[in-house]
């Protein structure tokens, strides 16, 4: 099991991007949509996201090595009595770390950060083919309460 004291969760930097993009590309879905050989669009996106106080692109680091990443977005809204919610996206754990408990610590961090931001709800989506991820999120208390829709542009 992963020891939380060995782990640092901090904002992602430009220097982290090669490791982050490699993790995003390290699965059948990511392999078809990510471009680890050209970091230019990722650098632009990270700069933009870093300037937005409602965006938290973070990495999990152990022994000076990036072993996980996620994006936490804070959304202020009118529904649910003007509730603030968060969205967890782009969760990845390095292949060497899967099954170690790191994913649990990482999601728990995101939930606690959401509470600290005043959120009343944490939501995420997971590709329909990622059945292992679905079991993982359900084990952490998330419920598959909605059907998500996407439109590629």
Q: How far apart are CA 48 and CA 37, in angstroms?
A: 21
Backbone angles phi, psi at 142, to 5 degrees: -75, 145
Fold of 4-139: Aminopeptidase (3.40.630)
Mean pLDDT by runs of 10 across the 153 residues of the chain is 75 97 86 86 96 97 95 95 95 89 92 96 88 88 85 85
Q: How long a stretch of residues is the chain?
A: 153
- pTM value? 0.90
Closest CA to 87 of 76, 78, 98: 76
99: left (phi over 0), alpha (psi -120 to 50) or beta: left
pLDDT of residue 30: 81
């Amino acid at each position: 099991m992963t020891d939380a004291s060995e782990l640092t969760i901090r904002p992602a930097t430009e220097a982290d991007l090669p490791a982050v993009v490699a993790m995003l590309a390290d699965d059948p879905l990511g392999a078809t949509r990510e471009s680890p050989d050209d970091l230019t669009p990722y650098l632009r996106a990270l700069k933009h996201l870093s300037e937005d106080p409602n965006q938290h692109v973070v990495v999990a680091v152990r022994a000076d090595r990036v072993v996980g990443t996620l994006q936490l977005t804070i959304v202020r809204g009118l529904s649910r009595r003007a509730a603030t919610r968060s969205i967890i996206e782009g969760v990845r754990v390095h292949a060497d770390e899967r099954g170690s408990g790191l994913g649990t610590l990482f999601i728990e961090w995101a939930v606690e950060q959401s509470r600290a931001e005043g959120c009343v709800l944490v939501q995420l989506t997971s590709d329909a083919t990622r059945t292992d991820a679905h079991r993982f999120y359900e084990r952490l208390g998330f419920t598959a309460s909605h059907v998500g829709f996407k439109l590629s542009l």
